[in-house]
Amino acid sequence: MLRRFLSPRFFSSLAFPSPSPIKESTHLTPLPRLLYLLNHSSTFEHMAQIHSFMVSRGLDGDNLLLGKFIHACSLLGFKDYAFSVFGRKDQPDIYLYNTMIRSLSRTDSALDAISLFNRIQSVGLRPDTYSFPFVLKGVAQLTMLELGQGIHSQIIRVGLGCDVHISTALIHMYSACEDIEDARLLFDEIRHRDVVSWNAMVAGYVKVGDMDNAHALFERMPERNVISWTTMIAGYAQMSHPGEAIAIFRRMQLEDSVEPDEVALLGVLSACAQLGALDLGEWIHGYVDKHKLYKTVPLMNALIDMYAKSGNIEKALELFENMKHKSVVTWTTMIAGFALHGLGNEALNMLDRMEGENVKPNDVTFLAILSACSHAGQADMGQWYFHRMRSWYNIRPRIEHYGCMVDLLGRAGFLGEACDLVGDMPFDANGAIWGALLAAARIHDDVELGEQALRHLIEVEPQNGGNYILLSNIYAAHEKWDDVGKLRKLMKDRGVNKVPGGSSVEVDGMVHEFTSRDGSHPCLERIYRVLYEINGHLKMIGYVPRLHGGLLEFEEG
């Protein structure tokens, strides 16, 4: 790719358009005026005009000014043009090399950034304290651990191993390559750590899913900034620990004068969606409106997702309809929201609208569509969309799509078709596939299928107690009590314990969590009294509980 950019043929092929003039501040002198224009340009035509002005005035010989032009050009997405300007320079200095490496490492051209870095010494220059962090960012993006280790060796040879900025970049690189042990060794060797170093190490633990060490390090931080808090909030949300994410967010509000940024709001909205914490989600929506924060598409998508998952599908749809710019994620989020509420027809209509506006659905969109068909019990429509995904959009189904189809067919009672689909998959079935078959067997009391599914689940999820209990309830539905006892003994012999069932509810902005047989809640007596009254009202109107094949509770021990 470098050869293509640096060849004379490439440069001669570049066309310099005659753009419309840029509005500028006329009271500025020529050089400040040029810098002003660089900061306020937004189109390729503007950048070409500025470059023409620089060349005509001989200003392209100023490496500092040329570097600012290359950087501004790259930020606007005109990477090829920036690279062509760099390539025209007869003898770029290390500043220009660093600027170009930085620009390439920020995009999808990390390999080009590494190639350019490797050229530095061949042209008689030496990498400096800026060169290494920039190229290490590209290495981290490509997760090329061996290359990163080689650059680390080079850093030590040139005597820059104690530079805090380079060490921080190395921590990020090792963490991105999931070598968290070496990242921590580097962190511990830094004598004078700044908040960026602490953030890099905390983010490293978050990257590998080690939230315990991330939290321990977070608590030790001598100072925190918005990135520190955001990293923890987003980490807990991504690891499906929404309660902890919300707790960190509340601490952020109480302990620090730091205002949450968009990433923090996205993380806590994700946590609200997982918990169904509508009050807190509405507060965040109000916070965005009150502080007049820019409502980006990702932020609006997160609000739609939060409202849909928290039970207010009407508000989710209202936000969706009022959005001027929608991404494929926006449409998919709304479709998934309808699916979650069992509104299959609305979800399918939304897909029709999406296609009508020439927005191409992706693989996640079809996951939401298949889920909508499953919740609505529309097996035929689900099969039709499954085939349409491949034939119309050339989207190769992932194992998640097959899992949706197995669940769809199983729920609808087409157990034979579901088993055939599992056999026809181009990859081995995982726990989710066999779990869907086991759940279908439970719904339709199919002992043979349940036993077959559990045999496979014992291999892939040997400690998942819920699988054993599903089969035990199939046995109970057929009054196979001996088999229930054997299954219970098998669980004890394998040391498998049933994970207690749990639920959560939000009251006045506080999320209350409950687990089976947990008597620690301070309002437990009042809760049981209300449940007793509700149960009495249900009986008065003729409700009779379905006890046949009800869930068996296995005691531990």
Structure confidence at residue 503 (pLDDT): 66
The residue length of the chain stands at 557
- First-residue to last-residue Cα distance in the chain: 64
The reported pLDDT for the residue numbered 506 is 59
Question: Smallest Cα–Cα separation from 406: which of 396, 393, 394, 420?
Answer: 420
Task: Provide the pLDDT for residue 25.
Answer: 43
pLDDT in tens, 506-540: 566 566 666 666 667 777 778 878 888 888 888 88
Helix (H) or strand (E) holding 253, with range, is helix 242-255
SS (H, E, C) 280-329: HHHHHHHHHHHCCCCCCHHHHHHHHHHHHHCCCHHHHHHHHHHCCCCCHH
Query: Would you state the pLDDT for residue 499?
Result: 60
pLDDT of residue 163 exceeding 70, the answer is yes
Query: Where does the pLDDT of residue 376 fall: very low under 50, low under 70, confident under 90, or very high at 90 and above?
Result: confident
DSSP-assigned states of every residue in 416-470:
HHHHHHHHH-SS---HHHHHHHHHHHHHTT-HHHHHHHHHHHHHH-TT-HHHHHH
219 pLDDT band, cuts 50/70/90, is very high
CATH number of 398-501+522-557: 1.25.40
Model confidence at 452: pLDDT above 90: no
Predicted local distance difference test score (pLDDT) of residue 16: 38
Query: What band does 483 get if pLDDT is binned at 50, 70 and 90?
Result: confident
Dihedral pair phi/psi, residue 429, rounded to 5°: -70, 140
Tell me the pLDDT band of 138, cut-offs 50, 70 and 90. very high
Q: What are phi and psi of 221, to 5 degrees?
A: -60, 130
By the 8 A CB rule, do 251 and 221 touch?
no
Domain boundaries, the chain: 224-311, 398-501+522-557
C-beta contacts of 452-455 below 8 A and 24+ residues apart: none
In whole numbers, what is the pLDDT of the chain averaged over residues? 84
Rounded-to-integer distance, Cα 231 and Cα 212, Å? 13
